[in-house]
Homo-oligomer: A and B are copies of this chain.
Amino acid sequence: MAAKTTRRQIVDAADDLFYSGGFSQTSFADIAAAVKISRGNFYYHFKSKDEILDAVIGKRLDDREKLLASWDQTAESPASRIECFIKIVIVNQAKIMAYGCPVGTLTAELTKLDHASKEKANKIMALFRDWLTRQFEELGCVDFADEHALHVLSWSQGVATLAQTFKDETFVQREVRQIVSWLNDIDQDTL
């Protein structure tokens, strides 16, 4: 029980630090300081740093799956569910302006490192893509569902990158208004 707790603490701390400082720039010393354990103690819980990364990506996948599932339950229409996704950039505005999108920046970093876990990181993006595709299908645009999904996903990545660069709140809100208006146009067309 205590072991599980420590392992969890390590993964949670690594998750935060990988986000705010990047994977390769985060050292065991950094994580150790956050969890308040010794560096050597890591290796009781994980064989290597890559194994911690793997656990972090797994946790992020779980977290996002749960988030999407909660929208599936709470939001009534597919359009309102897509709107939930769009509004992440507002809900997480402060963190995005500081560190960018956790999914996009990790994917980009692992691809540059040519890291073994890059495909697994891509799965988080694929998770969003598939979920969005399903929403657009339910919305009625069967033939363009995947195209629309990629469009919304691409939009969110662009907004996150520019939000991080210019820290412009009104830009983010304006972009959200525009894409929601685009979404409503699609919704009405398919009625």
- Asked whether A165 lies within 8 Å of B113 as measured between CB atoms, the reply is no
CA A44 – CA B22 in complex, angstroms? 31
0 or 1 for each of A155-191: is its CB under 8 Å from B? (1 = yes) = 1111101101110100100110010000000000000
Bound-state CA distance A175–B104 (Å) is 18
Complex Cα gap A164–B159 (Å): 16
Report copies per complex. Answer: 2
CB pair A111 B100 closer than 8 Å: yes
Interface SS of chain A: helix, strand, loop or mixed?
Answer: helix
Q: How far, in angstroms, from A151 to B159 measured CA to CA in the complex?
A: 9
A108 touches B164 (CB 8 A): yes
12 new A-B contacts, CB < 8 A, other than A22-B24, A22-B109, are A20-B112, A22-B112, A24-B25, A25-B112, A98-B111, A107-B164, A107-B165, A109-B109, A125-B162, A153-B162, A154-B162, A155-B158
A-B contact pairs, 5 of them (CB 8 A): A24-B25, A125-B165, A154-B159, A155-B158, A157-B161
